[in-house]
Amino acid sequence: MHRLLPVAAPLTFGALVCACQPPAADRYDARAEVPDTARFASEPIASPDAEGAVWAPSKTPLRLIYGQPGQHPLAAIACEMDGEAPRLRITRFARADEGAQALMAIIGNGHRERFPVEATNNGRAFLWEGTAPLSSEKLDVLTGQRGVELTIPGAGTLALNASERPRDLIESCRAAIRSHSKDRDPQGQPANGG
């Protein structure tokens, strides 16, 4: 009996500690606060059918829209030449939750690129938008001769059919930047201005 006492003491102490803890609740909401479902992301949307979709000029200069003729656009790209860092804005016309951010993957033409995008309010809804510097080689994913796939988590995968128009737009904007740079700093002019 002398040997059982040291073993029985830890078991008694353990039973006392367990007795201090409340029993498990039968209902989940009794154990924790009910989560605020308004803060969760919306349900993912299905990938759109892009059969027959084409790139077309927009009414806005230096902008292309992508979609099936006569339907709502699926995507757009636009050169933004103002400011010190000209950039290409990429818009995916799919609803986004306010404050949402993601990485948009564009794969094709021998490239796998990722661009940060965020929910941007266009006045009617929050849509996915992101920018990349026009000087970035990552934009070469859009300048090849093959189609590419654009994926945003929760917004599905959009097939961008092959077209020369994105390449032409990006190259035109890059050429305009180079021309503008030469106009501002002509070669041969002394550094001190005189």
Does residue 181 have a pLDDT over 60? yes
Ranges of beta strands (E only) in 21-165 are: 54-57, 63-67, 75-80, 87-95, 101-108, 111-121, 126-133, 148-152, 156-160
Mean pLDDT of the chain: 82
pLDDT at 29: 47
**Largest separation between any pair of C-alpha atoms in the chain:** 107
Instruction: Reply yes or no on whether the pLDDT at 80 is more than 90.
Output: yes
pTM: 0.72
The CATH number of domain 54-184 is 3.90.550? no
Q: Which of 130, 168, 162, 167 minimizes the C-alpha distance to 146?
A: 162
Domain ranges of the chain: 4-32, 54-184
Question: Among all chains, which residue has been given the structure tokens 């949402």?
Answer: 100
